[in-house]
Structure 1
Amino acid sequence: MTDAIPGRGQYTEDARRQRLSWWRERSGTALGSLERTGLSAPNLVGNVENFIGSVEVPVGLAGPLLFAGDTARGSIVAPFATSEGALVASASRGARAISASGGVVTSVLSQRMTRAPAFEFADIATARRFTAWLYEQRGQLEEQVGLVSRHTRLVGIDPYQIGRFLHVRFAFETADAAGQNMTTAATWQICRWLTDALALEEGLRPRNMLLEGNLSGDKKVTAGSMLAGRGTRVTAEARLSREAVASVLKTTPEAMVKCYTTTVLGAQQAGMTGYGVNAANVVAALFVATGQDVACVHESGVSLFSLELDGDELIATILLPNLVVGTVGGGTALPGQRDLLTTLGCAGAGGVRRFAEIVAGFALALDISTMAAVVSGQFAEAHQRLGRARRVDWLQAGDLNAALLQPVLAQGLADPGLHVTEVTGAPQLYGDGIASELGAMGERRKLTGLHPLTVSWTSGDGSSTTADLVAKVKPRGEEVVAGIAMLVSLCGPEVARAWSRWGGDTEFTDTHRRELAVYRRPESVLTRLLPRCYGVLEDEEREAYVVLMERLPRDDRPWSPDRVEQALAAIARVHGHWLGRDRQLLAEGWLHRVPEPTALAKAGDLWESLVRHAAAESPLLLDASRAQIMLGIVEDAGYWTQELQEQPRSLVHNDFNPRNIALRDGQPVVYDWELATLGVPQRDVVELLAFCLPPETTTAEVDRLLDLHARAVAAVSPEAAAVVAGCDWRRGYQLALREFMTTRLALYAAGHSQREFDFLPRVLDTTFALWSLEQARDGE
């Protein structure tokens, strides 16, 4: 094949496809992701050459941030194009602290773009004479600039002589364009005029000339640009109240200033240009989102950030001296980028000053939040990676193929002669589940989550089958724990320290092994309730833990009373089968680590810190009265957990809610067993009622459902009936309600401040209604 890229200079869809085919052949890569593009080739003249397609960058919403600037005013949400986790969340946290304190004041101080041609003369004296002459030609130079662009204005001429060489820094104002191309054209026009004007002036004429002698600092970090300015010079300032620093940033003004002072010394030692924390992240994210010149990110990200105390307030200031931005021309005309500029109110003429103020405001928000994270120890947690002593060949999406699945299916279906003929991906399912999401946060480099597949195979007897399956690729338990650590690190040092101490002892440990063990169990009472399992893969070397199961249709129907009864009766058969056999379950070991109820009381500082954080962050959900109830339950945990430990226990799902229950042929199917454990059967009842009953539920309705469940458990066997008859079933329910509120509900409520759980408001309302009913019953 030829080395010449086809369709050179052609901006057509046909030329794009020719180039894409040429590159496929040359690279030996399918390049399927480039087959389609939302960009029109004819519209890209001047943006790119040899166009073959486009790549997507995730865009997240940061903010809102309250502005009180010269042109940026009111509450503004900013689109960040980034693949860096924690960036949007951290900027949003800083925005919340600033907004709670009255907002950020922003102002554009100047705007200029530079170009610096270099001239060589016969000697030093000629260079000096030329410099004096050049100053006298200011009017002529301005006239030449006007010939090139009516939007460009010459505002500065700064000569720098080195021997017989003279560098001249021309500074221009370029209105709403970033101006690199505009100033290049204007400077070239000036140089042409100089050449013509001095053609016969031997005592002034330069011998040689370069359009750019590298003094302008174009796409480079320089002290000259920082002092004189290149691009838009913009500043932002906020006064943060002590309350906002404490409640949102989880630290104190004094600790912030001490950290600032220490890190200034480090910056000086390193020879840092300016002083900043993280502004380049905001600059890059907003540049990509809005079509700015990303090659200017490093110079535009130079900043001067400062903190100082003023009484009880923390004053935070930032200066971006070299923000190279525009709202017309270049990539700002691309459709997606134009849309995002429009949402900011910055698209087109008149938008650049507002855009610069928005960048500065959010850069200040991120610097404040990041420094607070460093002060309180959240930074490491939010960016942590699990250390491993060896390289791991993790599963990737392309590994879910016939070679991997054939032995899994052959073993799972007990058919050694089975041969997989085809595996194709299917449309992504709705939602991966909270545990998978947390695991992905804890370790981003490996494949996890739900992956729908259509698999065809030939059985050993020659028959053919095609089935719609789901490969559930599980994160390791410690990755889930690490993911939660990242989440709670944003909840402040108290919560982070408590999770660091107790997180490894929670129910999330060993989740990857536990669910695989459940699917391997032979008991029909369990297999009838599970999705059909086609096989499991447990490969410790690759840290690959996969359940291959049937794909069930999504079920969005509301949960009627009949459906609640049906689900309780279904799970009761599992409860009845293992009721009172806790020693056997523990001895068999397939549940792996099972925390004792009394361990819950030992971790009281964890549950207390979660409740206090949730109450501070979401007072409409967890008001003072509700928080006091939960704190009281935590305080008394040393007593009621001992009573809980004496209750009859069984295998419980431990995450039994509508998110994990589907229907097959009208019968319940329960999945997501990673949190299965040994506990009181009423624990599953509590969670289902909290998710399904309305807040205005009655004692009679709770009694009816609790009795239905108890009778269904007792009906499993005479042994189960004897256990049910010999215990206080309602007391077990009351204790399970305390356990649910202390652990799962507290974690949901605290996590809600960082990752919104749509179901939580109703679940909280119903849970506290259930609590009130029990308190009224006991006369408490």
Structure 2
Amino acid sequence: MSIKQLSPRHLYTYTEKARQQRLAYLSKHMQCSLDKVANNSFDASALSNTIEGFIGSVEVPVGIGGPLQIHGLHAQGLFYAPFATTEGALIASISRGATAITRSGGATARVLGQRMMRVPHFEFGSVIQAMAFSHWVVKYLDDLRSEIANHSRYAQLVALTPQIIGRSVHLHFIYETAAAAGQNMTTTCTWHACQWILDRLAATTDLKPHHFMIDGNLSSDKKVSYQSQIHGRGTRVIAEVHLSAAVCKSILRVTPVQLINAYHHVAEGAVAAGMVGMNINVANVIAALFTALGQDIACVHESSVAHLRMALNDDGELYCSITLPSLVIGTVGGGTHLPHQRECLNMLGCSGPEGTGKLAEIIASYCLALDISTLSAIAADEFAKSHEKLGRNRPQLATAPVALTDLNVAFFHTAAYNPVWGSKPPVSVEIQSSSDDKHSLLTTLSARHSNRLMGLIPVTLTNAARQDIPVMLKLKPLDQDIFTMMKFLAEKCSPALLQAISDSTHLIEFFNTHCREVVVMNQQDPRLTRYMPMIYGVIRDDKTQTYALIEERLHGLALMDTTDQIDQWQPCYIETAIAGMAEIHAVWLGQEQALLQKFPEICLQDTKSTLAQRPLLHAFADFMAEKLTHYFTPSEHDYFLSWVENAEVWCREIEQMPRTLVHNDFNPRNIAFRQVDEQLELCVWDWELATLHLPQRDLVELLVFSQQADISPETVTHYLELHRQQLEQHSQTAIDPIQWQRGYVLALHDFWLRRIPFYLMAHHVSHYPFIDRAMQTLRKLIELTRTPLQS
């Protein structure tokens, strides 16, 4: 088939044979494969009024959004809606807004009117003639209605309005078009009406137009215009909701005041930009629904003109409404007869001649849902983060691994290897399996809320000497993964706690955990490395957000993973742990500034950050007092808050004492013992929470998680003094016993305030057996500090 053979005749042939001829021609002459496009379910003979030159179709993913409760004149009930889109995070945001509206009682929606127009252009010799024509033509409104009725059952001419510009008349034919969008219908009807006008002009008047066009661009067909916003085009529809403060906090993660402030800022920007109307991202809903429902895609931008309004009610609720003045939709004609689109219309109950009003109310309600959700994300600084998580399409291996198959030789070549391995990366890699039985608690919980591959994965690496080395790959969750998990847990605890955590993520000690462990464990100081798993290499790729440790695969250790078996923790193990811990603490004791310079990834919990966390600590206290009375009595609530209120005093007291690098998660989940030359030696892993603190902080956590609630004052004194003596010996520094005991008291209460609430939040959602015993032990240790410890 030659170029000449692809004539209009071939474009207008609606047979399967003609389609195959077009495909064969394109494949040969354009040197491209169209196998995917050619594969479709359409009957070519049924598309004569839909498309020309038909060759196939493209698939657009369709997702389901909602549910959304709507109280409309036409749409009443709970609606799920189909959205055809390739934009990640869109449907998630739509559904969040729908949930907020539904839990606030649902959206009220009403169609305010429907009109379609065609505005033909008549040009005369002078403005006098243009004015004469304008007076003449409006007298024939009824005659024109009769003429139009000869060409359409649905188009109803409701108004005829001349607009004079110079010597031209733009004649506005205003229609109601029932269930059809009406652009093509009104074009045909208007053309026949204009032929009637031209004939009547010639027969009864001396007015002779120099020029006539079916449209002079004043109909705003498929264009954004102030005329459409003011007077309406297509369907004018409004949806509104009163959002409760509780829903704003629990679902949208903002307060009504935050949301109304954000609204004022974006409204200011809309005015400065000269925006027609004011909305956040209505076009996303319009485009996705239009594509799924067989609407005219070219009408997306004019249909997306919208006016979002928000106001704070006297009762604290937030009033939100959205008006769509020019929603050009139809439920008959156009692409609505196509099988996939008809199924989607049927799902909404909107197919057929009675569906347009219902569809308009559904679309407006979902537009309101998305604008509420998106503005909330912007106000809470989650907009970019949600797109980063759900919406970005990075090239393969340009992001963190998401499957075991990503862990190939190329991945391990990105690591920086320690001298114990050698400078060259492995020549081959064998992934054994995934292993989650020894994940840190943070990783285990975070993995449920992220599509990233994370946790411990056994791997065998083969080096250049063809030696097989069994290692454990530890893929770190990002701190944002941890915060997402925390917000999920907080939402199940209380709206106030969710809001407080959302506001404090940059302050708490879980910030920056993904890169902190990588740098802390990647050291050469033997005083530290002898007590850690061997580190063969590390991966820190800020661009792809990949953070990993290639470490020794631990096995055969005593007391490994014995969180729920503390009866095995005999005094000899506690003393060995304290001795190793003291040598670790001695390395950086009293070198606070040098430590922070060495490890800038540390999230310092100083006086300033503690004071900034007071709202969070208050929210935790209220939650624990209401939901966890077994662990948090009214007197303990008051005592807890007294420490919160006096934080400036005791935090500054801590800062005056010698501090060091502490593990900050020193408990039986993360420590065990090697057998070295017939002696036990501490081994401690999971350093993601390592920080600058009093050395007693690690002792506190060890005692809480390894001792019973009947621990005696003598036992506490023994272990505390042993820690002090060991630290004196390793640091070659005298340590005052009275100050040392005071530091223990401060570290104990700091642990109670900062860490225990997070444990209890997780325990409230998912039961952890070790929590009950640990809380009893903690309660006893705190009680003992209210009386002097034995010397």
Conserved 8 A contact 1:191-1:211: yes
Deviation at 1:321, TM superposition (A): 1.4
What is the CA–CA distance in structure 2 between the aligned matches of 1:652 and 1:496, rounded to whole Å? 23
Residue correspondences, number: 703
Superimposed CA distance per residue, residues 327-361 of structure 1 (whole angstroms, 9 cap, x where no aligned partner): 67777789998887777666777555444334433
Residues 1:118 and 2:120 are matched in the alignment: yes
1:633-644 aligned at under 5 Å gives the runs: 634-635=644-645
Superimposed CA distance per residue, residues 18-50 of structure 1 (whole angstroms, 9 cap, x where no aligned partner): 9999999879xxxxxx9989x962249768966
Higher Rg of the two aligned structures: 2
Paired position in structure 1 for 2:538:
536
Conserved 8 A contact 1:510-1:592: no
Superimposed CA distance per residue, residues 537-590 of structure 1 (whole angstroms, 9 cap, x where no aligned partner): 4578998755457999xxxxxx99867889999999877533353131566959
Conserved 8 A contact 2:472-2:553: yes
Deviation at 1:230, TM superposition (A): 2.3
Paired position in structure 1 for 2:675:
none
Paired position in structure 1 for 2:663:
652
Cα distance, 1:703–1:56 mapped onto 2, change above 3 Å: farther
Q: 1:607 aligns with which of 601, 613, 626?
A: 613
Paired position in structure 2 for 1:187:
186
Deviation at 1:610, TM superposition (A): 2.0
Cα distance, 1:770–1:457 mapped onto 2, change above 3 Å: closer
- Partner AA of 1:742 in structure 2: L
Deviation at 1:214, TM superposition (A): 2.8
What is the CA–CA distance in structure 1 between the aligned matches of 2:285 and 2:68, rounded to whole Å? 14
- Range with greater deviation from structure 2 (763-772 or 223-232): 763-772
Superimposed CA distance per residue, residues 375-425 of structure 1 (whole angstroms, 9 cap, x where no aligned partner): xxx45575589xxxxxxx99824998866744748767735676757999x
1:537-556 aligned at under 5 Å gives the runs: 537-538=539-540, 545-547=547-549
Deviation at 1:138, TM superposition (A): 0.9
Paired position in structure 2 for 1:675:
689
Conserved 8 A contact 1:231-1:322: yes
- Partner AA of 2:175 in structure 1: A
Paired position in structure 2 for 1:592:
599
Conserved 8 A contact 1:408-1:536: yes
TM-score (norm 1): 0.62
Paired position in structure 2 for 1:225:
228
Q: 2:108 aligns with which of 98, 101, 105?
A: 105
Paired position in structure 1 for 2:41:
42
Paired position in structure 1 for 2:146:
139
Conserved 8 A contact 1:67-1:73: yes
Q: 2:753 aligns with which of 720, 742, 752?
A: 742
What is the CA–CA distance in structure 1 between the aligned matches of 2:341 and 2:565, rounded to whole Å? 48
- Range with greater deviation from structure 2 (600-609 or 225-234): 600-609
Deviation at 1:510, TM superposition (A): 6.8
- Partner AA of 2:663 in structure 1: V
Residues 1:154 and 2:164 are matched in the alignment: no
What is the CA–CA distance in structure 2 between the aligned matches of 1:619 and 1:684, rounded to whole Å? 23
Deviation at 1:308, TM superposition (A): 5.1
What is the CA–CA distance in structure 2 between the aligned matches of 1:429 and 1:36, rounded to whole Å? 41
Conserved 8 A contact 1:410-1:418: yes
Deviation at 1:187, TM superposition (A): 3.4
- Partner AA of 2:120 in structure 1: A
Paired position in structure 1 for 2:392:
none
Paired position in structure 1 for 2:680:
none
Cα distance, 1:735–1:449 mapped onto 2, change above 3 Å: farther
Cα distance, 1:105–1:772 mapped onto 2, change above 3 Å: farther
What is the CA–CA distance in structure 2 between the aligned matches of 1:525 and 1:764, rounded to whole Å? 31
What is the CA–CA distance in structure 1 between the aligned matches of 2:222 and 2:574, rounded to whole Å? 64
1:720-739 aligned at under 5 Å gives the runs: 739=750
Deviation at 1:132, TM superposition (A): 4.8
What is the CA–CA distance in structure 2 between the aligned matches of 1:616 and 1:35, rounded to whole Å? 62
Deviation at 1:631, TM superposition (A): 3.9
Cα distance, 1:330–1:139 mapped onto 2, change above 3 Å: closer
1:314-713 aligned at under 5 Å gives the runs: 315-325=319-329, 352-364=356-368, 378=379, 383=384, 396-397=398-399, 405-406=412-413, 408=415, 414=421, 420=427, 450=454, 459-461=463-465, 463=466, 472=475, 495=500, 499=504, 503=506, 506=509, 508-509=511-512, 511-518=514-521, 535-538=537-540, 545-547=547-549, 577-585=580-588, 589=595, 592=599, 599=605, 602-613=608-619, 628=637, 631=641, 634-635=644-645, 652=663, 654=665, 673-677=687-691, 680-681=697-698
Conserved 8 A contact 2:374-2:383: no
Deviation at 1:144, TM superposition (A): 1.1
What is the CA–CA distance in structure 2 between the aligned matches of 1:60 and 1:487, rounded to whole Å? 26
Residues 1:305 and 2:308 are matched in the alignment: yes
Unaligned runs of 5+ in 1: 28-33, 147-151, 386-392, 553-558, 663-668, 690-699
What is the CA–CA distance in structure 1 between the aligned matches of 2:627 and 2:418, rounded to whole Å? 49
TM-score (norm 2): 0.62
What is the CA–CA distance in structure 1 between the aligned matches of 2:355 and 2:308, rounded to whole Å? 25
Conserved 8 A contact 1:167-1:213: no
What is the CA–CA distance in structure 1 between the aligned matches of 2:186 and 2:332, rounded to whole Å? 20
Paired position in structure 2 for 1:692:
none
State the SS of the aligned residue for 1:357.
Answer: helix
Paired position in structure 1 for 2:557:
none
Residues 1:173 and 2:177 are matched in the alignment: yes
Cα distance, 1:592–1:417 mapped onto 2, change above 3 Å: closer
Unaligned runs of 5+ in 2: 387-394, 555-560, 673-682, 731-736, 787-791
Cα distance, 1:771–1:495 mapped onto 2, change above 3 Å: same
Deviation at 1:235, TM superposition (A): 1.5
What is the CA–CA distance in structure 2 between the aligned matches of 1:433 and 1:330, rounded to whole Å? 56
- Partner AA of 1:156 in structure 2: V
What is the CA–CA distance in structure 2 between the aligned matches of 1:300 and 1:166, rounded to whole Å? 23
Conserved 8 A contact 2:65-2:91: no
Paired position in structure 2 for 1:203:
202
Deviation at 1:615, TM superposition (A): 7.8
Conserved 8 A contact 2:120-2:216: yes
Conserved 8 A contact 1:127-1:166: no
State the SS of the aligned residue for 2:152.
Answer: helix
- Range with greater deviation from structure 2 (194-203 or 228-237): 194-203
Cα distance, 1:644–1:104 mapped onto 2, change above 3 Å: same
Cα distance, 1:335–1:236 mapped onto 2, change above 3 Å: same
Cα distance, 1:260–1:681 mapped onto 2, change above 3 Å: closer
- Partner AA of 2:688 in structure 1: E
- Partner AA of 2:146 in structure 1: G
Cα distance, 1:603–1:379 mapped onto 2, change above 3 Å: closer
Paired position in structure 1 for 2:219:
216
Deviation at 1:155, TM superposition (A): 4.7
State the SS of the aligned residue for 1:536.
Answer: strand
Cα distance, 1:470–1:372 mapped onto 2, change above 3 Å: closer
Paired position in structure 2 for 1:666:
none
Cα distance, 1:542–1:110 mapped onto 2, change above 3 Å: closer
Conserved 8 A contact 2:149-2:155: yes
Deviation at 1:224, TM superposition (A): 2.1
What is the CA–CA distance in structure 2 between the aligned matches of 1:397 and 1:427, rounded to whole Å? 20
What is the CA–CA distance in structure 2 between the aligned matches of 1:167 and 1:436, rounded to whole Å? 69
What is the CA–CA distance in structure 2 between the aligned matches of 1:18 and 1:657, rounded to whole Å? 69
What is the CA–CA distance in structure 1 between the aligned matches of 2:414 and 2:719, rounded to whole Å? 39
- Partner AA of 2:177 in structure 1: E
